[in-house]
Amino acid sequence: MTKVAGHETAIALALLLLITVLQWIGLRLSSVVLQAMSSVTALTLISLACACFLHCHCASGSALLHPLPTVPSRPFSIVAALLVALRAVVVTYDGWYEAIYFAEEDTNPSRNLPRAMLGGVTVIVSIYLLINVAFLVVMPMEELAASRLPAADAAQLVFASTRFARLSGHFVTLLSLLTLISLINSVMLGAPRILFAVARDGLFTEKVSSVSSSGTPRPALLLSSLAAALMVASGSFENIVTVASFFVASNYCLNCVALFTLRRHEPQARRPYRAWWFPWSTGIVLTASFLFLIAVGHSDPSNALRFFLLLLLSIPVYLWLSKPTEPWPA
C-alpha cells in the first residue's frame, strides 16, 4: 500500500484506460472478463466471511468476538451519521438497474430484465451484509473505520496463526483491486449505451450512435471514458462519490416523475413491466430521494455546488448537440 500511496489518481486513470481498450476490442471479451472476475470475487468474499465467523466462534466460543457499535443517542447525530453512510450506499447499489441498458441486446427482455434486476439486488445485498457483519465480528469498529482495505486486514487476522497470514492479506488485496476492475468494466459497459440511445433518438450527435463490428459503440465509449477521466482528475474519491450520489438521487426523482406523467398521459400504453403498488411505491421513492438531496446538500454545500455547476454546464452542451443541422448546399 505504501508503494502506491500518492499515486491513486494515476492508477485510477490507468485502470480506466485499460478497461476502455478492453471494451474497444469487443463486447464479448469484456463480458467474459466481467463474469469471471465477478464470480471469483463473490466466491472468495463469501469464503472469507465464513472464515471470519468460524474464527470468531473458535476464539470466543460465541458468535460475536467484538461488540457491535452503539447507536448515537442524539437525533441530530443519528441523521448526520446516516447521511454520511447513505452517500456511499446510494452509489454502491446504483448499478441495480443497469440491465435495462442492454434490453435491446436481450432476446427476451420482458422475462429476463425483472429476473436480472431483482435477483441481482438480492444477491448483492446478501453478500454485502454478510461480509460487513463478518468484518465487524473480527475487527473493532475503530480498526474497521481506519482500515483502507478491511477485507485484507480481516484475512490477516483470521489466518494470523497460520503460515499463510501475510500471503492471505496480499491475496485479498489483489482481489480487491480486481474487484475495482470488474466494477469499472461494468459501469463502462452501461454508460456508453446511454449516450448511444440518446444519440439514436436525435438528442445527441448522430456519430455517437454508430456501433463497431465487434458490438461496441466506440464513439460513445470514448466520450464516456473522457468524462470519467475528468471526474477522476477533478477531486478526491469522497468528493466524486458525493457528487455521484446527487446525480443518482436526481435520476430517481426524474424517473418517478416520468412514471407518474406517462401513466397519466398514456394510460393505454403496453407495459410489460409492472410497477408494484403504484402509485404508493413510486411516491415513497420520490419523496425519499428528494429529501436525501435536500439533506445532503445542506450537510455538504461544496459538493452540492459542484453538482449544480455540472448540471448547468450540461444544458448548453445539450442544446448545442441536439440542435438540428441543415444539409450542406448542393
The string of pLDDT tens digits covering residues 228-278 is 888 788 767 777 777 888 888 888 899 899 989 988 888 888 776 677 788
pLDDT of residue 330: 41
Q: pTM, whole model, 2 decimals?
A: 0.67
Domain boundary among 215, 234, 253: 234
Do 308 and 242 share a structural domain? yes
Q: Which domain holds residue 204?
A: 8-234
Say if 188 falls within a structural domain. yes
Do 246 and 216 share a structural domain? no
Do 278 and 215 share a structural domain? no
Do 281 and 134 share a structural domain? no
Buried b (16+ CB within 10 A) or exposed e, 7-46: eeeeebeebbeebbebbbeebeebeebbeebbeebeebbe
Domain boundary among 191, 211, 234: 234
Say if 210 falls within a structural domain. yes
CA atoms of 49 and 46, how far apart (whole Å): 5
Do 261 and 202 share a structural domain? no
| Number of domain units in the chain | 2
Do 240 and 229 share a structural domain? no
Do 306 and 209 share a structural domain? no
Say if 250 falls within a structural domain. yes
Residue 310 · residue 243 · CB < 8 Å: yes
Do 222 and 241 share a structural domain? no
Do 168 and 265 share a structural domain? no
Say if 1 falls within a structural domain. no
Do 220 and 165 share a structural domain? yes
Do 270 and 289 share a structural domain? yes
Say if 3 falls within a structural domain. no
Do 288 and 220 share a structural domain? no
Residue 298 · residue 84 · CB < 8 Å: no
pLDDT in tens, 127-186: 888 888 888 888 877 777 777 778 777 877 777 766 666 676 677 777 777 777 777 777
Say if 106 falls within a structural domain. yes
